[in-house]
Amino acid sequence: MASQDWIDKDFYDVLGVSKEATDAEIKKAYRTLAKKYHPDRNAGDAAAEQKFKEISEAHDVLSDPEERKEYDAIRAMGTGARFAGGSDGAGFEDLFGDVFGGGRTRARYSTGGAQNINVEDLFGGGGFGGYGGAGGYTGGYDPRYQAPQPKGEDITTSTVIPFRSAMEGTTVKLQRGNGSTTTVRIPQGVRDGQKLKGKGKGHTGPGGNGDLILTVKVGEHPVFARREGTDDLSVTVPVSFPEAALGATIKVPTWDGHQVSLKVPAGTSSGRKLRVKGKGVTTKKGTGNLIVTVEIEVPKDLDDDARQAVEAFAAATAGHDPRARLIARAGE
């Protein structure tokens, strides 16, 4: 780049940052603007392409500490770096030697024809990796002069799957804005609200594809529920009064449509929890348990025989007060 261009162009303004901006602020501003004006997103838009070149040019200078120092120094000199005709050229090397130390510069200057001085020859013909000259930038996109390109944006979405699909694992097809579909595998035992990442399944970008972030919502089941923070399932099972009082072995359903036998101890109260090992949620880490909550079911209608039996039981247990302990502790 010519130093005259450095005087004429405000790279800080191009990136929308202050002159005191940190490296991180410059990088962030560049990434935001490059994403907005990149040719891949603005095909055929000459203005956007020119803007992208200006953004890249500004970033290349300001992201390099040495070049930024030179740029700030040249900008600080203002019009003092513009040379009028009639000069004998003697002041060129001295001037930049003071600024950069030893005459180091990346610039080419136009003297307006003074004494037919070829400034490109004076500064090495531009062949030192700047703009123009052999081996220099001649237009188009040269990867040697491009900053790291940003990846495409992530896609964030959600899906709802049935309870059983969450237990077994499944696949879902998601329709994208352009009409295409993306297939995502849902692992066995996925939790409600769990986020899954599909690497490289997001939007396309110059630095690679973004990711797909999928939030899975699991539908409710009429019988089973997953216990929060665990791989256990819970289910409430009704038992009769005789089963709870005398003890019994009952059949309990499992989420996969089968049944298992469960022993209910004699004297079981309503609300007691019993465990069936290994009948919960299966994940890659293992399988949880099925937690059975016992609920004593009291019949609404009793025939004469049943009523007489209950009355006989009441008479036989008249000395037992099930609330005595509660009342005693309430007065503590």
Domain span(s) for CATH 1.10.287.110 in the chain: 3-145
**pLDDT above 90 (res 132):** no
Give the range among 100-109, 175-184, 189-198, 223-232 with minimum mean pLDDT: 100-109
60-to-18, 63, 65 alpha-carbon distances in Å: 16, 6, 10
Q: Does the predicted TM-score (pTM) go above 0.75?
A: no
Q: Is the pLDDT of residue 226 over 70?
A: yes
**For the range 24-28, what are the long-range contacts, defined as Cβ-Cβ under 8 Å and sequence gap of 24 or more?**
26/59, 26/62, 26/63, 27/59, 27/63
Q: Which of 253, 239, 258, 248 is nearest to 299 (CA)?
A: 239
Q: What angle (nearest 5°) sits at the alpha carbon of residue 310, between those of residues 304 and 311?
A: 85
**26-74 pLDDT tens trace:** 999 999 998 898 888 888 888 988 999 899 988 989 998 988 988 888 8
* Homologous superfamily of the 155-218 domain (CATH): Urease metallochaperone UreE, N-terminal domain (2.60.260.20)
User: pLDDT digits over 75-93, tens only?
Assistant: 777 644 443 333 444 433 4
For residue 124, name the pLDDT band (cuts at 50, 70, 90).
very low
> Please, which pLDDT band fits residue 112 given cuts at 50, 70 and 90?
very low
The pLDDT value recorded for residue 3 is: 53
What does the block give as tokens for 166? 């969450």
Instruction: Return left, alpha or beta for 103; rule: phi > 0 is left, psi -120 to 50 is alpha, else beta.
Output: left
Q: What are phi and psi of 158, to 5 degrees?
A: -145, 165
Query: Does position 94 have pLDDT exceeding 50, yes or no?
Result: no
Q: Check residue 40 and give its pLDDT.
A: 81
pLDDT tops 90 at residue 159:
yes
Stretch among 28-32, 90-94, 282-286, 319-323 having the lowest mean pLDDT: 90-94
Segment 245-251 shows an average pLDDT of 96
**Matching residue, tokens 């002041």:** 91
pLDDT at position 276 is 97
Q: What pLDDT was estimated at residue 122?
A: 31
Q: Which of 9-23, 42-56, 77-91, 155-169 has the lowest mean pLDDT?
A: 77-91
Q: Tell me the pLDDT band of 320, cut-offs 50, 70 and 90.
A: confident
Share of the chain above pLDDT 70, in %: 77
Q: Is 236 helix (H, G, I), strand (E, B) or coil?
A: strand
Distance, in Å, from the CA atom of 306 to the CA atom of 281, rounded to the nearest integer, reads: 41
Q: CATH 2.60.260.20 region(s) of the chain?
A: 155-218, 225-330
Strands 233-240 and 290-297: parallel
Q: Which residue has the higher pLDDT, 227 or 92?
A: 227
In CATH, what is the architecture of 225-330?
Answer: Sandwich (2.60)
Q: In the numeric block, which tokens belong to residue 175?
A: 């329709």
**How distant, in Å, are the alpha carbons of 42, 179, 245, 311 from that of 152?**
14, 18, 66, 76
Cβ contacts of residue 141 below 8 Å, gap of 6+? 39
Specify burial of residue 228 (Cβ count, 10 A radius: 0-12, 13-18, 19+): exposed
Written as six digits, the tokens of 216 are 């899975």
- Taking residue 52's Cβ as centre, other Cβ atoms within 10 Å add up to 21
CATH number of 3-145: 1.10.287.110
- 127 neighbors 135 (Cβ within 8 angstroms): yes
Q: At residue 280, does pLDDT exceed 60? A: yes
* 136-146 confidence digits (pLDDT tens): 444 455 555 56
d(CA 138, CA 121): 19
* Cβ proximity of 226 and 232 under 8 Å: yes
pLDDT-derived band at 318, boundaries 50, 70, 90: confident
pLDDT of residue 296 exceeding 50, the answer is: yes
Q: Report whether pLDDT(206) > 60.
A: yes
Instruction: Name the average pLDDT for the chain.
Output: 80
pLDDT at position 221: 96
Strand order in the sheet with 194-198: 155-161, 212-218, 194-198
pLDDT at residue 128, as a whole number: 33
Task: Inform me whether the pLDDT recorded for 230 exceeds 60.
Answer: yes
